[in-house]
Amino acid sequence: MAQALKHEQKLLMPKATAVWLIENTILTFGQIARFTDLTEIEVEALANEEIGRGLVGRNPIENGELTADEIKRCEADYKLDLILSRRDLPPVKTRAKGPRYTPVSKRGDKPDAIAYILKNAPDIPDSAICKLIGTTKPTINNVRDRTHPNQANIKPRHPAELGLCTYIEFENAHNKALKAAGKDPEAIKAQKMAEMENAAAASSEEDDSTKSSGGFDFSNFLGTGSYAGSSSQDDDN
């Protein structure tokens, strides 16, 4: 019954609730993610202020979504999941179909999100991009052809960081596109991780090399070449 209740009702402000739980409890990212229907990556990003910077936490106890005892119960055992408290308000209805609605304040971010997807997930088809961030194929083509009216200011940014979708929605769309292209999503991820690790290792070695040499070339100040020869002649004279 408790699990059924959890799925019948949803949090009104999941990210704000996650921020409050991060700041005021010792719950794990996994527990918070499962309760708020976010991913652990999103919860960790909120904790590190990589996304949602300045977002004010929403107290689920004051809003009747959790009890203090329920939080303590799950803090004592990290394997337990929080159970949403019963509320008198009707459950929030979500649209299963139709284009994704994007707040006016975020619509200007869509070209940045499109540029990110075209650069980092080129296997995702235009039709899937439209559904993922609520854009149109002409806009995608304008960004791809660099004919967008705001082209000079477009910077590739992850659509989840812009709040246009969630990380899990992006990953699902990307994995589906890779499978449709006959590619193994896990193999692609492993390859990217290896490339990132190699790049980080190379950068670290370069930094160590710079530090060991002092980062400065003193060869021009050594007594060599014609300058040294002229000095020797002066000494003979």
Reported pTM: 0.45
How many separate domains does the chain show? 2
Residue range 175-232, pLDDT digits in tens: 999 998 898 888 887 887 788 788 777 777 776 666 665 555 555 555 555 444 444 4
Q: What is the pLDDT of residue 217?
A: 56
139 lies in a domain?
Answer: yes
122 lies in a domain?
Answer: yes
205 lies in a domain?
Answer: no
22 lies in a domain?
Answer: yes
Q: What is the pLDDT of residue 36?
A: 95
The list of the chain residues with pLDDT below 70 reads 1-9, 87-107, 207-237
* Residues 59 and 120 occupy one common structural domain: no
Contacts 24+ apart (CB under 8 A), 17-21: 17/57, 17/58, 17/60, 17/65, 18/42, 18/43, 18/46, 19/46, 19/52, 19/55, 19/56, 19/57, 19/58, 20/57, 20/58, 20/59, 20/60, 21/57, 21/60, 21/71
Looking at 60, 75, 90, which one is the last position of a domain?
Answer: 75
> Which residue range forms the structural domain that includes residue 138?
104-180
Q: What is the pLDDT of residue 15?
A: 92
135 lies in a domain?
Answer: yes
211 lies in a domain?
Answer: no
The answer to whether the Cα torsion of 205, 206, 212, 213 is positive or negative is positive
* Residues 119 and 170 occupy one common structural domain: yes
